[in-house]
Amino acid sequence: MPQARLFERLGLRTAADFATHLPLRYEDETRITPIGDARPGVHALFEGEIADSEIRFGPRRTLQATLTDDSGRLGLRWLHVYPGQQARLHAGRRIRARGEVRAGFHGLEIVHPLVTEPDKPLPDTLTPVYPTTQGLSQSALRKAIARSLDEADLGDTLPSAVREAYGLADFEPSLRLLHNPGPDISLDSLARHSHPAWRRIKFDELLAQQLALADARAARRAQSARSLRGDGGLTGRLLAGLPFAPTGAQSRAAAQIGEDLARTHPMHRLLQGDVGSGKTLVAALAAAQAIEAGAQVAVMAPTEILAEQLWRKLSDWLGPLGVAPVWLAGGLPAAERRQALRAMASGEARLAVGTQALIQDKVEFESLGLVISDEQHRFGVGQRLALNLKGDRARFRPHQLSMSATPIPRTLAMAFFADMDVSVLDELPPGRVPVRTRLFDDRRRDEVLARVGEVVRAGRQAYWVCPLVEESEALQLQTAVDTHELLCAALPDLRIGLMHGRLPAREKSAVMDAFRAGDTDLLVATTVIEVGVDVPNAGLMVIEHAERFGLAQLHQLRGRVGRGGGEATCVLLYQPPLSAIARERLRAMYETTDGFEIARRDLAQRGPGELLGLRQSGQALLRFADLDSDEDLLEQAREAAAWLSAEFPEHARAHRQRWMAGADQYLRS
Ligand SMILES: Nc1ncnc2c1ncn2[C@@H]1O[C@H](COP(=O)(O)OP(=O)(O)OP(=O)(O)O)[C@@H](O)[C@H]1O
């Protein structure tokens, strides 16, 4: 593959890209370590004389040599032997050998050391090791980067006032230092990214991101939306008809959204609430206000189960008030579907609920004013909203409300959602008792089965979540079917349902309906029930092989119980032995039911990509800064972004250009 393509793969196009491609780590070749100082795990350069070398014949041929100096002896071993190699390593020859020392069978050794000529002058800087891709050597990268340091404009994009205010090192010296650190610089401060030069680079990275988000926000402000003020009629009747009063948090969020909707630029708000905090009501109030003001509303969810549940709730609440939502789903008969589409296009229908794909692709609206999407962030931050807007679409953009049940830790929200406004439901409806979590070794399964029986006899229902089989969907399905059979045999008196992703839509609804109506006692399910499923009578959740699930996922699953008042228990069945990470996860589940605390621990364990559901995208969200340890820098970068935009717009532009030329794809539309 041509070198340019390999560079491209690393995202390296402009001189600035190369100049800011920074080392992953460094190797110290500036000095020679006495062999007597060799320790397992240490990467070092040694120089000495070959004392002996021989080819050993075992299952495969290996070359074994001994390097000596005044201080000791070190084994060198090659697992592949090339012709002439032994001759070059004859006894008495002086060489240098570099590599990682390990404790071998016959003492300390290096496997596959890098051998170089002795007596050459040593470099006087640490040797950088860059992130690379297959087929691209370190030396090619080093050369290209060295060239870019001559070619790129390395002028400081931060005015001196800003540098001084935050105690930041200058850009060019920092960059040069990180590419070629002198031997006096502590490897530790480089490795831990705590050196002032790293601090400057991390600050720049965070600042670029903040500037991009601020720009996105400003661009949205420049767009027009219809002001949806409403007269309070429909919202008032909705509230009056509820069997409960909204929580303080629900009222606050609804008021914030209400104000946004009345504005003439599009709302872009994230509604965050822990499991069971009542986001649906807030969505319903927003929809009611928009409808009241004469607009149409689209509500989208990522899965049919979720969409159907939203549809059901909105139908219950708004149907009696004359606003029956239109349902748009894959399995709909053609005639009904056509009718629904016609009703949306003509404006006769005011509210549509469905899966994201359906609403985005097929539907035309007469006057769409508000789009509500549930859990959209799980499907990629960069997902664009492609709605067919009829009528006044040319001039007006719809308001947007996103809902998320994954509490997003503050740093993460600051780093990735700074272009959105955020409302948080930080209060659960009254009467909720925290779910009790119990851990059971899989060998105590019988006790757990007995427990399911007890719960059902007491008039409650239960979920049984099948083990996760990530490798194969077919295997996952088989596991679900097997688990269902085993449970039917073990608990013959119970009415047991089965729910998995491969069931046809119609059957999924039938299974869910039966459980909701109390016609089944136990629902065996895969993670399709992970988010949003709301059956208040469910009082027990068993999760099999809990050690295979991620923390956020366990928290979501657990959130399916304890939603209607009354006691609820979550049993995490695990298969020992547990890995250290799995043990940490299960401990976190046992110790807390607070979604924010769980999210914080999840962030620390797995990083932001995973938490935001971006694992598949393979996109590095931040290359240098770490949200866990660089919170203070993030805070400063945010402040500096506002300062730069207001007083130094030219600097702000140059800064973005350097760090993000063409790399804005993660920004939302
Ligand atoms: N203020 C309230 N008082 C009592 N019950 C409420 C209140 N608000 C909502 N509920 C009920 O609480 C349950 C959870 O609400 P909802 O399904 O909206 O939660 P959610 O925030 O979507 O949670 P999840 O993300 O776990 O699905 C529902 O049964 C809902 O009817």
- pLDDT tens-digit readout, 55-97: 888 777 889 999 999 999 999 999 888 878 888 888 999 999 9
Q: Which atom of ligand 1 is nearest to the CA of 563?
A: 13
pLDDT for position 667: 44
Q: Output the CA torsion 481→482→488→490 (10° steps).
A: -160
Q: Which residue has the CA at smallest separation from atom 6 of ligand 1?
A: 429
DSSP state of 362: H
How far apart are the CA of 303 and the centre of ligand 1, in A?
A: 19
Q: What is the mean pLDDT of residues 627-636?
A: 86
For residue range 145-157, list pLDDT tens digits in order: 999 999 888 999 9
The token pair that represents 635 in the structure block: 């805070």
Residue 618 C-beta-side C-alpha neighbours within 13 Å? 3
Residue 534 has pLDDT above 50, yes or no: yes
Tokens 């399709």 — which residue? 528
Q: What is the mean pLDDT of residues 657-668?
A: 59
pLDDT for position 609: 58
Q: What is the mean pLDDT of residues 174-197?
A: 87
Nearest to 153 by CA among 1, 15, 277: 15
pLDDT for position 52: 92
Residue 187 has pLDDT above 60, yes or no: yes
Q: What is the mean pLDDT of residues 281-288?
A: 97
Tokens 């002795």 — which residue? 118
Nearest to 207 by CA among 657, 669, 662, 666: 657
Q: What is the mean pLDDT of residues 623-651?
A: 89
Residue 339 has pLDDT above 60, yes or no: yes
Task: Say what percent of the chain tops pLDDT 70.
Answer: 92
CA dist., res. 275 & res. 599, Å (int)? 12
pLDDT for position 291: 96
Q: Which residue has the CA at smallest separation from atom 18 of ligand 1?
A: 278
Q: Which residues contact 209 (CB under 8 A, 6 or more apart)?
A: 415, 622, 637, 660
Between 606 and 580, name the one with better pLDDT. Answer: 580
Nearest to 530 by CA among 518, 516, 541, 514: 541
Can the peptide bond before residue 128 be classed as cis, meaning omega within 30 degrees of 0?
Answer: no
How far apart are the CA of 344 and the centre of ligand 1, in A?
A: 28
Residue 383 has pLDDT above 60, yes or no: no
Q: Which residue has the CA at smallest separation from atom 9 of ligand 1?
A: 278
The binding-site residues of ligand 1, defined as CB within 6 angstroms of any ligand atom, are 244, 246-247, 250, 273, 275-281, 405, 429, 532, 534, 536, 559, 563
Range with lowest mean pLDDT among 302-311, 364-373, 480-489: 302-311
pLDDT for position 242: 93
Q: What is the CA radius of gyration of the chain?
A: 31
How far apart are the CA of 502 and the centre of ligand 1, in A?
A: 27
Residue 282 has pLDDT above 60, yes or no: yes
Residue 533 has pLDDT above 80, yes or no: no
Q: Which residue has the CA at smallest separation from atom 1 of ligand 1?
A: 246
For residue range 389-433, list pLDDT tens digits in order: 544 455 788 999 988 877 777 777 777 777 788 898 988 888 778
pTM of the predicted model, to two decimals?
0.72
Residue 579 has pLDDT above 90, yes or no: no
pLDDT for position 665: 42
- Biggest CA-to-CA distance, the chain: 96
Residue 655 has pLDDT above 60, yes or no: yes
pLDDT for position 74: 95
Q: Which residue has the CA at smallest separation from atom 10 of ligand 1?
A: 278
pLDDT for position 125: 82
Between 463 and 123, name the one with better pLDDT. Answer: 463
Map residue 403 onto helix, strand or coil.
Answer: strand
